[in-house]
Amino acid sequence: MAKPDSHQQCEKLLLSHWGLPKPVLAAFASKGLTELYPWQAAALECAAAGNNLVYCAPTSGGKSLVAEVVMLSRMHQAQQALHQAQQGSHRQAGALPRGLLVLPYLSIVAEKTAHLSLLLEGMKWRVTGYKGEEQGTPLAGKSERIAICSIEKANMAINHLIQEQRLHELVSVVVDEAHMLADPHRGAALEMLLSKLVACRGRCSVQVVAMSATMSGLDSLSAWLGGHLFLTNFRPVPLSEHAVFGGTVYAKAGQTSGGGSDANDWPLVEQRRLPVQGKSDRDALLALVAEVVVESHSVLVFCAGRAAAQSCAAMLAGELGRLVGPPSAAQAAARAELVAELRVALAGGVNAELERMMAAGVAYHHAGLTHQERGVVEAGYRSGALLALTATSTLAAGVNLPARRVILRSLWQGAGPVGRAQYLQMVGRAGRAGQSPVGESFLMGQGAAGSATSGQWAAVCALMSAPLPALCSQLVAQPSQQPAASMGQPSGSGGQAAGSGPAQPQPAAAPLPGPECNAQPSLQQLLLHAVAAGLVGTGPSVLSLLQSTLSYHQLPFADLADAARSALTALRARRLLSLKPEGPSRPSAWELTPLGEAVVASMLPPDLGLLLHSRMSNLMSCLVLGGHLHLLFMLQPDPLLAIYDWNAWARLTKDFTAAHKRVADVEGVQLSYIDRRIAGMRGDAATDAKHARLAGAVLLDMVVGDASCVHSLEGAWGQPNGLTKAGITRGQMQQWQAEVSKTAAMAALLASNAGWWQLEALLAPLSAQAAAGVRPELLPLMEVSGMQPSHAAALHAAGYLRPELLVCAAESEIAAALAAKLPANPLKRKDNDKKKQQGLGGYGTNALVARAAKSLLAAARQHVVLAATAKAADAELGGTQVDAFSLTRRQLCYTYQAAARPVRMLSAGAFGLS
């Protein structure tokens, strides 16, 4: 019997054993994946019967492959069952099975979408990644098979599927980074999402997969989801951990807890001494980086903040050359190519500092860069053109960038000290199968080694050997966590600039005063949405919903019940829910009020929904038209910034138009107050906040109209110790731009359900315009991947109004259109002399414009084909047979005939394209 068992075990290590369709197996094979690690096969066995699965494996251990196999095999099996059920009957094809992949960070949505799209190309399954609010609701399209989105978007999708009685279509949900359940800011949203699925077990057969590398206390999580629990510490590439103190490297000796005063208790053993390379290299960082760069391996250096990341990158770029020698011809060419990519991505803008670093094979990465700059940096690092990358801690969780060596230059990252889970996320980037045979991490501490009372030795030892924190529900706020007047600010909001002024009090969101209205905000939102979905009505249904939460498995039930009573009381006080009285044949039941229906439809948290509802109600009688400024003022839950220098604010107000002054007057923002603040008079927090909201609205108004101006705005508005203490980066402006797009989209839904169609007609286009950063007429062109605002403006001016017209143009025509509207040419500055151009491989203005034209034409063609294919798929599912290729061909022929006329004659109306 031993041989059959052995043979069966070998079969399970083959991908072909796990029910994947042949085109998917072929796609995996093209990537070199045909076999599994034993732990992956064992994890798949736990989910083979359709069971929910909770598993934890180290970073770089192959977690994602397990989730992909479970999801795709589950969808394939469901599709086969559907086809078999329809054989021999005349029923119309039912809804195709769908999958939902939930990611915590938008920065990895595009990468995951591209990966799954390639895997499923042979299946003709449509994969959609949701990176912005303007894309609508996931899984709403008939032909959409897999949606990849954030936690918040996934909540929206689940709500719609339940309300439309389509939840049976969803057969697989994968949650990446499930430890986010313990995140104090977004954990409650993830718990709400999963709680609704648990509550609907009787209505659907969805399989839930939750995975993470940094979770502990998973028994309650697996019990909650009713799934199998699988744990492994397997890592295909070994990771060696080290600490550095005073230039001496200490290797981690074992997994002892550490923390005692006896030197024998410390889990670190002295290994070697590093050479210090000058005054700027006091912690011997340069030697650590040079050791791997000289062998053409990659290094990732995590720094305490943005300024530290930039200064560290500058030091490395200036010093590495003398230690590792000049780059090879191939490296120099690759870096010149990367600089050219950066200039094309910036569409006329220049980041001279970043260019100089790239030429040395170094770059920095943080939120102060635009997403175009970050994208080029990430691509250069993955390709090997860049070997040393300095970054802030957000890179560890938000972007997939492995390295041979990971260095934490500070025990303090971002807003606080590094925690155990965060540390594992960072060092887990070291070493990836197929890229490096080993992984190394180095944590640099301050003070004397071996001291339990001074310096950071004890803290470093504790961090490197601490157990993972327990996974704790964030749905129910404890007394110390109850908000005094929470605004329910959207996740990822810019908030106040760090260190730029006193905190501002938050306006009351509820129609009725009283602290009870702010009780249990997350539980309020869950109950409100559950009532809307029909999951909650009577008292027993409330109990059933509570039993579907993670909190039920972690908290005493009496505490959970008290929290639910407080939340229901608050919802009733806020006039979001009403209690329908008991009748002769029916019990009393909770139901939505018209206000509650509007807030639920918007997907806004109750407190923020009520705040915007109140503000929009006021706007219906006093909205200042002629621009977006008044709407942008209204859409800020809290000020985006805090004014630091009132003289700077006074100078900016001198350029106010009549519309600016009208908005200030209507909203009670007295400009004379600025003079009093300049004179040194003490201000009040509420008035300061109003001025800050106006300043944020004015800045956003310029960015929304033309996002290509962020570089100039950074100079005028963003200098440190100016309008704000910390300054405003172009990356921060883009973040605010995305946030206002999200809030405007939700506010448009709120206005629609409240009956304010006038506001809806203004807010919906504002959301799309804010997401793209262009004038409304340029929005169709911005649908093309890689299109920048300045590109769209130039092409539109030349008569290319839509992608369908662009695809029929020649590269030379597109290049001419781009060159005609090129901004004041940064390539002609003094730092771009002849020698510099030679260092960039000869990429002058004409070459860069030609490069951009070629890229945009290819992207436009792909956009048109994909749009036509999706249209054909939707038509086919709707009962109309449409050939995708024929539709694409007809569309291209039509646009070719239109484009055959002189470009200067083109107009949207002339060809029915408006």
- Does residue 353 sit in helix, strand or coil? helix
Q: Are residues 24 and 158 in the same domain?
A: yes
Could you tell me if residue 495 is inside a domain? no
**CA atoms lying within 13 Å on the CB side of residue 556:** 4
Task: Decide which of 736, 751, 773 is a domain's last residue.
Answer: 773
Helices (H), 246-328: 285-293, 306-324
* Separation of first and last alpha carbons in the chain: 72
Please compute Rg for the chain using Cα positions.
29
Could you tell me if residue 530 is inside a domain? yes
Q: Are residues 637 and 753 in the same domain?
A: yes
Q: Residue 537 burial by CB count (10 A; 0-12/13-18/19+): exposed, middle or buried? A: middle
Q: Are residues 749 and 788 in the same domain?
A: no
Q: Which domain holds residue 642?
A: 606-773
Give the pLDDT score at 563: 95
Could you tell me if residue 640 is inside a domain? yes
**Which residue's structure tokens are 């206000």?**
595
For residue 31, give every residue at least 6 positions away whose Cβ sits within 8 Å of its Cβ, in sequence order, or none: none
Give the pLDDT score at 515: 53
Q: Are residues 224 and 243 in the same domain?
A: no
Q: Are residues 788 and 768 in the same domain?
A: no
**Which residue's structure tokens are 């003094």?**
830
Query: Is-contact 739 493, C-beta < 8 A?
Result: yes
- Read off the DSSP letter of residue 418: P
Query: Is-contact 399 379, C-beta < 8 A?
Result: no
Give the pLDDT score at 511: 46
Query: Is-contact 155 189, C-beta < 8 A?
Result: yes
Could you tell me if residue 505 is inside a domain? no
- Does residue 798 sit in helix, strand or coil? coil
- Read off the DSSP letter of residue 903: G
- Does residue 910 sit in helix, strand or coil? helix
How many other CB atoms are there within 10 angstroms of residue 188's CB atom?
A: 27
Closest residue by Cα to residue 120 from 86, 143, 151: 143
13-37 pLDDT, tens digit per residue, is 999 999 999 999 999 999 999 999 9
Domain of residue 736, CATH code: 1.10.3380
133-144 pLDDT, tens digit per residue, is 657 889 988 889
- Rounded to an integer, what distance in angstroms lies between the CA atom of residue 310 and that of residue 267? 32
- Rounded to an integer, what distance in angstroms lies between the CA atom of residue 202 and that of residue 198? 9
Give the pLDDT score at 831: 44
pLDDT (mean) for 618-646: 94
Q: Which two tokens stand for residue 297?
A: 């391996």
Could you tell me if residue 318 is inside a domain? yes
Is the pLDDT assigned to residue 56 strictly greater than 60?
yes
Backbone conformation region of residue 434, classed left if phi is above 0, alpha if psi is from -120 to 50, else beta: left
Query: Is-contact 204 189, C-beta < 8 A?
Result: no
pLDDT (mean) for 39-55: 94
Q: Are residues 46 and 175 in the same domain?
A: yes
- Read off the DSSP letter of residue 876: H
pTM across the whole model: 0.86
For residue 81, give every residue at least 6 positions away whose Cβ sits within 8 Å of its Cβ, in sequence order, or none: none
pLDDT (mean) for 482-488: 38
- Does residue 195 sit in helix, strand or coil? helix
Closest residue by Cα to residue 13 from 32, 33, 38: 38
CA 859 to chain centre: 23
Is the pLDDT assigned to residue 827 strictly greater than 70?
no
Could you tell me if residue 220 is inside a domain? yes
Query: Is-contact 519 482, C-beta < 8 A?
Result: yes
- Top pLDDT among 811 and 215 is at 811
Q: Name residue 213's amino acid.
A: A
Q: Which two tokens stand for residue 490?
A: 């959207």
Could you tell me if residue 834 is inside a domain? no
Helices (H), 51-178: 63-86, 109-119, 151-163
- Does residue 897 sit in helix, strand or coil? helix
Q: Are residues 575 and 631 in the same domain?
A: no
Q: Which long-range contacts (CB under 8 A, 24 or more apart) does 91-94 make?
A: 92/879, 93/877
Is the pLDDT assigned to residue 895 strictly greater than 80?
no
- Rounded to an integer, what distance in angstroms lies between the CA atom of residue 205 and that of residue 207? 6
pLDDT (mean) for 268-291: 88
Q: H or E segment at 38?
A: helix 38-47
From residue 602, alpha-carbon distances to 324, 528, 704 in Å are: 56, 12, 22
678-712 pLDDT, tens digit per residue, is 998 888 999 999 999 999 999 999 999 888 888 88
Could you tell me if residue 261 is inside a domain? no
Q: Are residues 160 and 297 in the same domain?
A: no
501-514 pLDDT, tens digit per residue, is 333 333 333 344 45
Helices (H), 679-810: 685-705, 710-717, 730-754, 757-772, 779-782, 789-797, 803-806
Give the pLDDT score at 421: 87
Q: Are residues 217 and 328 in the same domain?
A: no
Q: Are residues 761 and 802 in the same domain?
A: no
Across 324-328, 432-436, 874-878, least confident range = 874-878
Helix 521-533, helix 539-546: angle, nearest 10:
120
Domain of residue 207, CATH code: 3.40.50.300
For residue 459, give every residue at least 6 positions away whose Cβ sits within 8 Å of its Cβ, in sequence order, or none: 411, 417, 445
Number of domains in the chain: 5
pLDDT > 90 in the chain, percent: 64
- Does residue 272 sit in helix, strand or coil? strand
CA 751 to chain centre: 26
- Rounded to an integer, what distance in angstroms lies between the CA atom of residue 247 and that of residue 67? 42
Q: Name residue 539's amino acid.
A: G
Task: Decide which of 421, 442, 465 is a domain's last residue.
Answer: 465
Average pLDDT of the chain, as a whole number: 85
CA 552 to chain centre: 29
Q: Do the strands 248-252 and 239-245 form a parallel or antiparallel pair, or are they unpaired?
A: antiparallel
Q: Are residues 322 and 385 in the same domain?
A: yes
Is the pLDDT assigned to residue 282 strictly greater than 60?
yes
pLDDT > 70 in the chain, percent: 85
- Does residue 579 sit in helix, strand or coil? strand
How many other CB atoms are there within 10 angstroms of residue 676's CB atom?
A: 14
**Which residue's structure tokens are 């000289």?**
294
pLDDT (mean) for 161-173: 94
Q: Which two tokens stand for residue 107?
A: 């920065």
Give the pLDDT score at 582: 83
Q: H or E segment at 440?
A: strand 439-445
Q: Are residues 121 and 177 in the same domain?
A: yes
- Rounded to an integer, what distance in angstroms lies between the CA atom of residue 63 and that of residue 58? 8
633-673 pLDDT, tens digit per residue, is 999 999 999 999 999 999 999 999 999 999 999 999 999 99
Query: Is-contact 550 195, C-beta < 8 A?
Result: yes
Closest residue by Cα to residue 813 from 895, 900, 910, 888: 900
Confidence of residue 7 (pLDDT cuts 50, 70, 90): low
Q: What angle do CA 433, 436, 439 make, to 5 degrees?
A: 95
